[in-house]
Structure 1
Amino acid sequence: MVRTASGQLYTGISTDPVRRLRQHQGELVGGAKALRGKGPLSLVYQQPMPDRASASKAEYQLKQLTKTVKEQLISEQ
């Protein structure tokens, strides 16, 4: 999960979270439109998964959680 300057949380999957964060920040080509102009961004939570299918399922489940529960996950990491 990535936190925006305003405190919003963005959830996505990537094989290289650091590269993906750089893309979102505009340092590299290919960031999400939803994050443009919302920086600075910080990587606040990541969860390694064995394959893309399980990563997609975990992403979906994370997106269903309330922000309060997501904040608890972040603080426990």
Structure 2
Amino acid sequence: MSSYSQSGTWSVYIIRCADSTLYTGISTNVTRRFEEHTSSSPRSAKYLRGRTPLELIYAKEIGTQSEATIEERRIKALTKAQKLNLVAELS
């Protein structure tokens, strides 16, 4: 995926792991955050360690941190099939 949200705008993103699980997060710079996750840096989410390779499959600019957190919670409450439908809708 291309570069997302390099301004102060918050985005929500979904990463597909090698074991086909999905990880949802928020960031002001999705590209940087994805690189942190793939490099297994100390800033990487513990959940993603050992689940490489990772694939960024969804990213959407939301606005404020509060709005992004609300959207992240909404997405995390979806089933895996619903999350994949959300990804397909964006494509």
Same structural fold, with TM-score higher than 0.5 when normalized by the shorter chain: yes
Higher helix content, 1 or 2: 1
Matched residue count: 77
Which runs of 5 or more structure 1 residues have no equivalent in the other structure?
Answer: none
Give the whole-Å Cα distance in 2 for the aligned partners of 1:67 and 1:27: 24
Which structure 1 residue ranges, 4+ long, deviate > 3 Å from structure 2?
Answer: none
Higher strand content, 1 or 2: 2
Q: TM-score, normalised by structure 2?
A: 0.80
Which letter maps to 2:51? K
Once the two structures are superposed, the pairs formed by residues 1-77 of structure 1 within 5 Å of their partners are 1-26=14-39, 28-77=41-90
Task: Name the Cα RMSD after superposition.
Answer: 1.1
- Please give the secondary structure, in 2, of the residue aligned with 1:37: coil
For residues 1-53 of structure 1, what are the alpha-carbon distances to aligned partners after superposition, in whole Å with 9 as ceiling and x for unaligned? 00001111000000111111111112654110110010110110111111100
Which runs of 5 or more structure 2 residues have no equivalent in the other structure?
Answer: 1-13
